[in-house]
Amino acid sequence: MSLPVKQLLSEEQLRAGVTRLSREISQHAQGRPLMIVGVLTGSVVLLADLIRLLDIPLRVGLVQASSYRGTATTPGELTINAELLPDVRGQDVVVIDDIFDTGHTLVGIMAQLESLGARSVRSAVLLRKAERCEVDLAPDYVGFDIPNLFVVGYGLDYNDHYRNLPYVATLDEDEL
């Protein structure tokens, strides 16, 4: 696969956005401990960069959720696997996800965390496609609003490729 050439967000822009997210999360937490829950696999790059910038006590957990499979560019049925998730009872939780598209993934994960006894559940996303939202939920923290384009890089993939790009880019139509 060739590398996408239409860069949407540079490494510098991403670094500034993640730094801003970390400040917003830290300010809201006011020094209270947080459970940070990363959504696999797309959030791993954001999760790693973000937790190193948070200046509050925290624990980290992971949850696997997927509504895109293989070469799909539109979401399908949501599946959630919380086997890697530590006990969240009584915890203030912030879910970290790569992209807020229709919103169904985030709604499903947040509902599951609430059902497991989390004291509070907030959400942080790197990217938001506001025009695609199909749920009555807005992420609490948003790195960047982007147009309705299929994007890859900085953890986001197409058929499990491009996650390692240090920037966010769009794919040409002929690559989809």
Share of the chain above pLDDT 70, in %: 88
Q: Say yes or no: domain 6-175 is CATH 3.40.50.2020.
A: yes
Asked about 101 being catalytic, the answer comes back as yes
Assess contact for 114 and 121: CB atoms under 8 A. yes
Over residues 9-66, the pLDDT tens digits come to 999 999 999 999 999 999 999 999 999 999 998 999 999 999 999 999 999 999 988 7
Q: How many CB atoms lie within 10 A of CB 163?
A: 17
Give the closest residue to 93 by CA, choosing from 68, 74, 80, 111. 111
Q: What is the pTM of this model?
A: 0.88
Q: How far apart are alpha carbons 128 and 143 in whole angstroms? A: 8
Q: Which of 101, 140, 160, 172 is catalytic?
A: 101
Q: How far apart are alpha carbons 58 and 134 in whole angstroms? A: 31
What is the pLDDT, as a whole number, of residue 84?
75
Q: How far apart are alpha carbons 88 and 136 in whole angstroms? A: 24
Over residues 123-154, the pLDDT tens digits come to 999 999 988 888 889 999 999 999 999 999 99
